[in-house]
Structure 1
Amino acid sequence: MNKFAFIGAGSFIFTRNLVRDLLTFPAFQDCELALMDINPERLDKITQVVKKIVKAMNVPAKIVPTLSRAEALEGADGVVCTVFNGDIDIWRYDIEVPKEFGVDINVGDTRSISGIFRAIRNIPLMLDICRDIEKYCPKAVFLNYTNPMAMLCKAMQTYSKVEVTGLCHSVQGTAAMLAEWIGAPEEEITYLCAGVNHQAFYLKFQWNGEDAYPRLRKVLENSEYYQKEIVRNEMFTHLDYYVTESSGHNSEYNQWFRKRPDLIEKYCTHGTNWNPGEYAFSLNFRLEREKTWRDDFNKWIREEEVDTKRSNEYAANIFNARIGDGVPFLFNGNVLNHGAISNLPYEACVEVPVVASRQGIQTTTVGALPAHLAILVNTTASLENLVVEAAMEGDRRKVFQAVCMDPLTSAVCSLQEIKEMTDRLFEINRDYLPDFKW
């Protein structure tokens, strides 16, 4: 019987979907599901959700809710993590303070100054979890869903011995979206996608072995489709390769779309494929969700029918390849580069095709990114390396210098303004950053 530990199990969507996916595999139908969260109320709700899933799927899985991370991890074969350090009470300042300086952040969980501060708050937490895994379940496969993905995975893969990779649904999700746009069955689409998390590009996108990019260009001549993802479609129009993560995210990863109010209005407010509009996952949305999450849980528990069909998330397939029936599984994972992409930093965390099997998680070799994409992605990868270095050294100066190199921040602010903004956020985050030099 396998044991799976869900650290941060109170994450409604992820835990619900990943439990269901696991139970679709015969090897895991009698598994133990250790649900761990520090919020007793969320833990109780997600336990009710998982009980409903287990009952609907008619499997003998065992459910063990706990507030103890050690108890959840003891003897685990697989670990899934969705936790983060600093809830809305601190995260909101990652958005609000930069906006005072003209840096208009949208999501703020991956890049720009917001993603940098989220990283330095969460790197110590993730390394603590890794140390617990080394102690309680050293052979476990650890799959991380917490953002900022690349910086957290870079820290864990460099400073722990845990078998860990990071997962994001943007690669397969975008491929499915583009397949729908061009009228292709998803199963007939193949692709080569590489870069860094949320900034990977489809270097090849094919339908039955033929280049599908000409079809996509034709589709985007229709304004209805162009408006669905304005930022990403604009990037594709000019850069010739489609990027993985949504327009709402990508608008804050570069210097082109959010440096002036008129650009935000033109590119970012109406067409991010989110509903309603750009701010669907922004601060206001999350503040509202704090008021409604109980209702969301209760409604699902009372009324919703359990969908027993496996989703397109990677996690369960990876666990099955590693510790289930052993069928190898190809996916895009977050791993240390080590030459997989020849023109990105060797020690950066990249998102490339990897294969999970009984032998472990093995990275494939992509080669070089197109030169213009390499310039863009190198900035991101090098900046993320510097942030991890700063977090491990507790060096405020290096954090500031990393923010200076952020494309959006540097497009809006002077160096002195960046210094003042960074200092403000350090003071606000003081209690979350005890390892930094003050």
Structure 2
Amino acid sequence: MTTITFLGAGSVVFTRDLLADLLAFGDIPDLTIRLHDIDADRLATAEGIARSTADHQGAAPVITSHLDRRQALEGADFVINSIQVGGYPATEVDFEVPARFGLRQTIGDTVGIGGIFRALRTFPVLAAIAQDMLEICPDAWLLNYTNPMAMNVAYLHAVAPQLKVVGLCHSVYWTVRGLCDIVGVSFDEVSYLSAGVNHQAWILRWEHEGVDLYPRLDERIAADPELRRRVRVDMYRRLGYFPTESSEHSAEYLPWYMHSDSEIERLRIPVGDYLGISRENVAEYEETRRKVQAGEDIGEREHDAQEYAPQIIHSIVTGTPRTIVANVPNAGLIDGLPETFTAEVPAVVDADGIHPQAVGALPLQLSALNAAYVGTGMLTVAAAVRGEPRLLRQAAMIDANTSASLTVEQIWDLCNAMVEAHGDLLPPALRVQISA
């Protein structure tokens, strides 16, 4: 029997898509799906979606739902984590408070003020999940989708180093697919290598039948002024390697764009974009819940990508080898990246588990750009592990967009305001107001 526990199953569309990919394999025997959420209404909706998805696939897994997390973890072989601590109200705080200080953000889930505080309110829950898993299902893999990915994996490695955890993100896949569309080649016919940190990794090699595709991309960019109005195309033209996350994300990881009205106009940067996305997600959930309660068809997933968690589960259970992109503690995988922070690298998956592949040193300019991201992440993790509120402020001071947009005094005042706004969601030791 293979038992898979979904934590944060109330992210209902994501749960549907993962289940659809998982059940599509058809050769994972005796499959048990356990759904957990702290919201009873969302959990009931998730169960309805799971059963509908199984019916669409002609599958008959055992499906149970649990408000009690420890109960859901009993016997788990794999635990898929997609929790969002604080939900939409916390996301509003992440944007509205910094905006009062003049700090612009787009997504706010990876680094920056939004990423720092999303991490700090997620860490206590991650610690509790890790403790439960080590007691209840110590041999299970934790497959994490919750952002900020790099900080969450680094934190789990710090507080529960014996836990088998890997962070999963589809940004590399969609980046390469998009690049292939631009140059007119089939994704299935290309080979590529990426490495770096989550949401700021780099396409180091991209070839079709052994031929480098970057020169063809250069031709397309030179011929299309609208392509040049994308943040990551602008990054590529100046850095020489294409970044692996969308322009909306990438803009706020850098010191060059968000504080400038002219750059926001030139590169069409959607300031505050994630607030709209979050509202749409809430509306999508409400409509999905209505369909489940009415017994209507909830529809199939809208794209043909296969998420990494189902691939990992299939490879480990059946022994089918495949290569994915994984977020894991660096441990020598990327030269120059701190050993305890999270690297995003290729990994081979087989019956024996997940095997990250070393890639050596990144080009110097890419490593240098990753440094601020990594510094913010390491300081945020250290603030939580050590319970030192000054480290929280120092994490914000190091952040590229924050430090380019605000004075140090404004940064400290903003951190104090965020601590007050998020209150009990934060680790107790960090719920304090401090001055320099």
Q: Is the pair's TM-score, using the shorter chain for normalization, greater than 0.5? A: yes
In the alignment, is the contact (CA less than 8 A) between 2:17 and 2:301 conserved in 1?
no
Cα offset, 1:127, TM superposition: 1.4
- The aligned amino acid for 2:102 is G
Distance 1:292 1:354 in 2: 34
Please give the residue correspondences for 1:157-306 in structure 2 after superposition, counting only pairs within 5 Å: 157-160=157-160, 161-223=162-224, 226=227, 230-269=230-269, 278=270, 281-287=273-279, 289-299=281-291, 302-306=296-300
Alpha-carbon RMSD across the aligned residues, in angstroms, is: 1.9
Letter matched to residue 249 of structure 2? H
Cα offsets for 1:322-351 (capped at 9, x unmatched): 2x1111221111111111111222221110
Aligned mates of 1:288, 1:321 — CA distance in 2:
34
Work out the CA distance in 2 between the residues paired with 1:292 and 1:309: 17
Unaligned stretches of 5+ residues in structure 1:
270-277
Q: 1-side partners of 2:35 and 2:191: how far apart?
A: 36
5 Å matches for 1:111-150?
111-150=111-150
Once residues 308 and 117 of structure 1 are traced to their aligned partners in structure 2, the CA distance between those partners, rounded to angstroms, is 32
Q: Select between 279-288 and 121-130 the one with higher mean Cα deviation.
A: 279-288
1:410 corresponds in structure 2 to: 403
Secondary structure at the aligned position of 1:117 is classed as helix
Residues in 2 aligned to 1:112 and 1:376: alpha-carbon distance in whole angstroms: 14
CA 180–125 in structure 1, closer or farther in 2 if over 3 Å, else same: same
1:337-416 alignment to 2 at 5 Å? 337-416=330-409
Q: How does 1:44-123 map to 2 (within 5 A)?
A: 44-123=44-123
CA-to-partner distance for each residue in 1:77-120, whole Å, 9 max, x for gaps? Answer: 11100002212222211111111222101111111111011111
Of 190-199 and 353-362, the range deviating more from structure 2 = 353-362
Asked if structure 2 preserves the Cα contact closer than 8 Å seen for 1:37 and 1:66, the reply is yes
Matching residue of 1:316 = 310
Structure 2 stretches lacking a partner, 5+ long? none
1:33-92 alpha-carbon deviations (Å, 9 max, x no partner):
101111111111121111111112112211101111111110011110000221222221
Take 2:303 and 2:262, find their aligned partners in 1: how far apart are those partners?
Answer: 44
Please say if 1:421 is aligned against 2:414.
Answer: yes
> 2: CA distance between counterparts of 1:420 and 1:268?
30
CA distance in 1, matches of 2:393, 2:85: 20
**8 Å CA contact retained: 1:21, 1:309:** no
- Sort the Cα spacing of 1:327 and 1:291 in 2 relative to 1 into closer, same or farther, 3 A: closer
Write the distance in 2 (CA, Å) between the matches of 1:39 and 1:225: 44
Q: Deviations over 1:252-291 (max 9, x none)?
A: 000111012222222134xxxxxxxx36952134235435
Q: Work out whether residues 80 and 145 of structure 1, in 8 Å CA contact, stay in contact via their aligned partners in 2.
A: yes
CA–CA distance in structure 2, aligned partners of residues 217 and 239 of structure 1: 13
Matches of 1:364 and 1:347, distance apart in 2: 16
* Contact persistence 1:74–1:136 (CA under 8 A): yes
Query: Which of 325, 328, 331 does residue 321 from structure 2 map onto?
Result: 328
* Kept after mapping to 1: 8 A contact 2:5/2:78: yes
1:75/1:136 contact within 8 Å kept:
yes
Task: Supply the distance in 2 between the matched residues of 1:122 and 1:174 (Cα, whole angstroms).
Answer: 27
Query: Taking structure 1 as reference, are residues 413 and 245 closer, same or farther at Cα in structure 2, changes over 3 Å only?
Result: same
Q: CA deviation at 1:309?
A: 9.0
Q: Could you tell which deviates more after superposition, 427-436 or 111-120?
A: 427-436
C-alpha change, 1:27 and 1:77, in structure 2 (3 Å) is: farther
Deviations along 1:364-415, one digit per CA (max 9) or x if unpaired, are: 1101110111100122112211110111112110010110011111111111
* Count of residue pairs brought into register by the alignment: 428
Distance 1:279 1:308, change over 3 A: closer
Q: For 2:281 and 2:21, locate their aligned partners in 1 and report how far apart those are by CA, in whole Å.
A: 25
Identity %: 35
1:221 deviates by 2.2
Distance in 2, matches of 1:335 and 1:374, equals: 17
Aligned partners of 1:181 and 1:219 also within 8 Å: yes
AA paired with 2:203?
Y
Q: Note if contact 1:120-1:433 (Cα within 8 Å) is conserved in structure 2.
A: yes
Corresponding residue of 1:273: none
Q: What is the CA-CA distance between 1:235 and the residue it aligns to?
A: 0.6
1:96 aligned partner, one-letter code? E
Indicate conservation of the 8 Å contact 1:20/1:310, yes or no. no
> Following TM superposition, by how much is the alpha carbon of 1:417 offset from its aligned partner in structure 2, in angstroms?
0.8
**Structure-1 separation of matches of 2:207 and 2:346:** 16
Task: Name the amino acid aligned to 2:107.
Answer: V
Q: Is the 8 A contact 1:109 1:147 kept in 2?
A: yes
In structure 2, C-alpha distance between the alignment counterparts of 1:282 and 1:55, rounded to whole Å: 33
